[in-house]
Structure 1
Amino acid sequence: MNKKKLSVVIPVYNRKNLVKDAIDSVLDQKLKSYEIIVVDDGSTDGTRKAIEEYSDEIKIISQENSGPAVARNRGIAMAEGEYITFLDSDDLWFPWTLSTFERAIEEYNCPSLIVGTDIVTKLGEGVTAKRGPYKSKAWKNFYTATLEGDGQAEAPSIRKTAVDAEALRKVGGFTTKDVNFEDADLWMNLGVARGFVHVKSPPVAAYRRHKGGISNDASRVYRGVRELVRSEEEGQYPGGEEYQSARTKIITVYTRSKSVALVNQGEYRKAFSIYKNTLSMNISNRRWKYILFFPFLLLYSVIK
């Protein structure tokens, strides 16, 4: 099989001190059949100057500040690779990341979606990972993996995925609504696309936790959850009745953790609204621990 070229899309906004680490981690790849597309989402802190240092090695796109989803879609539109991968500007890859994706592409005859594993660290701490042996498993599609109990299928992070470019464009890329979980919405839209692979080893990315991200913005989290639920209720996701349980399982994975996080942030009304609007989904998936525990957590947090 001919080697598949991969495109790496990196959206960035005001991270001049972090984005260079992300770019360097891609340039350090052992696999060389790839392109890097960095989309500057209207940065004002000198990020543009920082990425221009790599102008001979990357493609640079500039746009007015429109959010990471719009930036990723700009990168998708410019990408020339048969597969598209995504790296956030504050995360890192390992030298074997793209070669690991390529191995899965060849081994499983060009699946639509490949998901790896990652390690979690704090910004400023050293990032170390052992490559370890290659281990993977394949399913008919993303929803099938979810139904058969593959936990990685339920909530994959963008930084550890490779997506067939044709399948990605067919579903229209990422939603551009101002919400969190645009990645979850994409995986749901790719739910029945042919071929899903989980690369269990080696890890392919490092997630560096810090306070500068938007993933914990309470309003965006709330809107994102409501959008997932609305899309499912209105039948916008593929798979019909055959995969309904897979879709609700995925949605409740996201909503359970975020409703608890909103309680911890003092956003009690938003948290309860999520609980109420997803109660039937949690009941159908027998999430009894959450169903019974959450009201007590909410009540305790309100009165303490």
Structure 2
Amino acid sequence: MNKPLLSIIIPTHNRPHLVTQAVQSALEQTMDDFEVIVVDDASTQPIDLPSHPKLRVIRLSQPHGGAGTRNVGLAAAIGRWVTFLDDDDRLLPHMAELSLKALSSTTLSAPVAVISGLEEVNPQGEVLGMRLPPLLRPRGAHFFLEELEAGKSYNTKQTLVVEREVLQKIGGWDNHMRSRVHSELFLRLNPVCSIIGLPIITYQLYNHQGQRVSRNPQLRQESFIRLVEKHQKLFQAHPQTFAKFVYEHARKCYEIGLKREAFSNLCWAMQIDPPQIFPRIAAKFYQSRMKLYNFRF
């Protein structure tokens, strides 16, 4: 195979019914100059995909985890640019073409990466919501620690298209991270690479009831602590965003049953930025009391 312009890397583990759709969405891109690399992270049953000239499958005999599996795909990729697709999500057909067009037409000095919007869909294909990224985070910024514009979301990191060599130079994905792998990567990427945000939906995030790393309470808490400890100086330099980040983690801990961790992180957020966090807590308390009041009367 001649060197393609883009490598689409799909890590997968024990999701044969979902990865087939992910691969199909990658192969249906409106541009031709790409390859698809599926890295099977020691699934119980090796995945069985139809052969295709643009498709390569790498089978791992020992589990590497989400970050490690991505790094295997990154090492195998030969495209100038790379993007990563979760095995339970899908690319829209124009994702690669629009992303690379934006990169080829930018006047920003290299290196430059691009992200775009995504929509969340349920098993019936209904759109549950959508997210659009900030328009630009210049080189030297720290992505989700920067103040966010109204109507934009940092939770579009899955759509990243970046030069393979840039990703390799910063060390690729952190193999020790089991959750929040994208957040950790972007804190290393943005300081050395400008990130353009396209106000276009190119990615479908599939909302299903199957097992997801992001729903694992233990992994979520462990990865949160590792992320903050690894980038402690960056978080401390952005106290308002840091406090909000800890508060949102506390709220999620409570939702998934980690009540002790939720209380601990809530206290932590209060210590970082009381003027911001106290009104949030008061508003939540007021809302809960009103719901109880309406229920009684």
SS at match of 2:215: coil
Instruction: State yes or no: 1:215 paired with 2:217.
Output: no
- Given that 2:269 and 2:277 are in contact with CA atoms closer than 8 Å, whether structure 1 keeps it comes out as no
Instruction: State yes or no: 1:97 paired with 2:87.
Output: no
SS at match of 2:31: coil
Alpha-carbon deviation of 1:69? 0.8
Aligned-pair identity (%): 22
Unaligned runs of 5+ in 1: 130-134, 299-304
Residue 55 (structure 2) aligns with: 58
Q: How far apart in 2 are the matches of 1:149 and 1:108?
A: 22
- Given that 2:138 and 2:190 are in contact with CA atoms closer than 8 Å, whether structure 1 keeps it comes out as no
- Given that 1:117 and 1:200 are in contact with CA atoms closer than 8 Å, whether structure 2 keeps it comes out as yes
SS at match of 1:18: helix
Q: How far apart in 1 are the matches of 2:222 and 2:143?
A: 27
Are residues 158 and 59 of structure 1, via their aligned partners in 2, closer, same or farther at CA, if it must alter by over 3 Å? farther
Q: How far apart in 1 are the matches of 2:150 and 2:4?
A: 28
Instruction: State yes or no: 1:35 paired with 2:71.
Output: no
> Comparing 154-163 with 204-213, which one deviates more in the overlay?
154-163
Alpha-carbon deviation of 1:116? 0.7
TM-score w.r.t. structure 1 length?
A: 0.79
Whichever residue aligns with residue 274 of structure 1, its letter is N
Q: How far apart in 1 are the matches of 2:223 and 2:273?
A: 18
Are residues 183 and 151 of structure 1, via their aligned partners in 2, closer, same or farther at CA, if it must alter by over 3 Å? farther
Instruction: State yes or no: 1:264 paired with 2:250.
Output: no
Are residues 268 and 297 of structure 1, via their aligned partners in 2, closer, same or farther at CA, if it must alter by over 3 Å? farther
List 4+ stretches of structure 1 deviating above 6 A. 151-154, 294-298
SS at match of 2:231: helix
What is the aligned length? Answer: 278
Are residues 207 and 175 of structure 1, via their aligned partners in 2, closer, same or farther at CA, if it must alter by over 3 Å? same
Residue 302 (structure 1) aligns with: none
Q: How far apart in 2 are the matches of 1:74 and 1:43?
A: 15
- Given that 2:134 and 2:149 are in contact with CA atoms closer than 8 Å, whether structure 1 keeps it comes out as no
Q: How far apart in 2 are the matches of 1:248 and 1:31?
A: 42
Measured on the aligned residues, the alpha-carbon RMSD in Å equals 3.2
Unaligned runs of 5+ in 2: 289-297
Alpha-carbon deviation of 1:214? 1.5
- Given that 2:8 and 2:34 are in contact with CA atoms closer than 8 Å, whether structure 1 keeps it comes out as yes
Q: How far apart in 2 are the matches of 1:128 and 1:144?
A: 26
Residue 182 (structure 2) aligns with: 183
